[in-house]
Amino acid sequence: MEDKNSLRIIDLHADLPYDIVKRRARGEQGVLESFHLRKLREGRVTGLVAPIWVESPYKPDQALGRGLEIVDALINDLKESPSFRLATSLHQYLDEESSGKISLFLGVEGGELIGNDLELLRDYWRFGVRCFGLVWNERNLMADGMDHAQDDRGLTDFGKQVIEQLNELGIVIDLAHMAAKSFWDVLGTTKQPVIVSHTATPRHRALRNLDDDQLQAIASNKGMIGIFALDTGAMPDLESYCDHIEYAVKMAGPEHVGLGPDFVDYFLKDLGADPRTNVRPVDGLEDHRKLPAVASELASRGLSNEEISMIMRDNYLRVFKQVVG
């Protein structure tokens, strides 16, 4: 593997906005700088897809207000955090990376925050949103999440309008948490590559994984799959995590795989009854500091420096460049 100091990593799914709004509500400031910067630097992270995730009690009626509250908290925290910037184009990301800044690619995880209003989607684009996940686990006006895997109705007419608008605006579509019929309907509608920011392969016995057909379909779409680092009973350690990466590479090719760890280290003491606390960190991959170990493990398995760079960073930049510019 190439020198660790030259390694650059993009995390496809980091719930930093949620952490920021929670901490700032308690009176804390400079959350990115104080609580996240050191781990990200040690982990060689230069960019993160940071989604706006609205908690279920706010949905649907209060989702817009909560979403705007989260955006406001994030923007204020960025003003206090000189090491971070919001990236809304590839050129901006590369400029920030060259100057030593860490970029946040603002995302959405769950389309409830726009209700049934496409103008609100355009407003979120103006705020800087460049990645949009239609669902979390629930059903909304656009599509169905994994809670409705057994009665998945697929992409709605409004959902199709959203896909068309996302393509037109230049926003990356994220299919994480999406039930199967909705997944396939989106792929049949979009004219741009998509991502599945945090998921796993059939090696992982979990509802949110992708099957072989889905992995291959993402490759045909020229999109990418981010592998999450959550142990729900079948991904206990770093080696098993890399097994999933290897499987995804085998099925989709190294140019369509990335890292979407969905770390929970900054939630474990803070979220109480939140559903994400029923998972455990992967041993040896507990937080952002450990991400370079993934590159080392993949190198030991025979992946080339070029393939590792694709998985660590470059695949997302390729999709981002094509969709966003």
Encode pLDDT of 63-72 as tens digits: 999 999 999 9
The domains located in the chain, with CATH, are 4-323 (3.20.20.140)
> What mean pLDDT comes out for the span 10-14?
98
CA 277/CA 273 separation, integer angstroms: 7
CB 74 within 8 A of CB 20: yes
CA 32/CA 38 separation, integer angstroms: 9
Q: Which two tokens stand for residue 278?
A: 């029923």
Neighbours of 209 (CB within 10 A): 19
pTM of the model: 0.95
Name the residue with higher pLDDT: 269 or 308.
308
Cis peptide preceding 60, ω within 30 of 0: yes
Coil, strand or helix at 151: coil
Q: Is the pLDDT of residue 277 over 70?
A: no
Going 285 to 289 to 295 to 297, the CA torsion angle's sign is negative
Inter-axis angle of helices 238-252 and 212-220, nearest 10: 60
> What mean pLDDT comes out for the span 275-283?
70
Q: Which helix (H) or strand (E) holds 16?
A: helix 16-25
Q: Are strands 45-52 and 102-109 parallel, antiparallel or unpaired?
A: parallel
Q: Is the pLDDT of residue 154 over 60?
A: yes
Angle at 320 between CA 154 and CA 75, to 5 degrees: 90
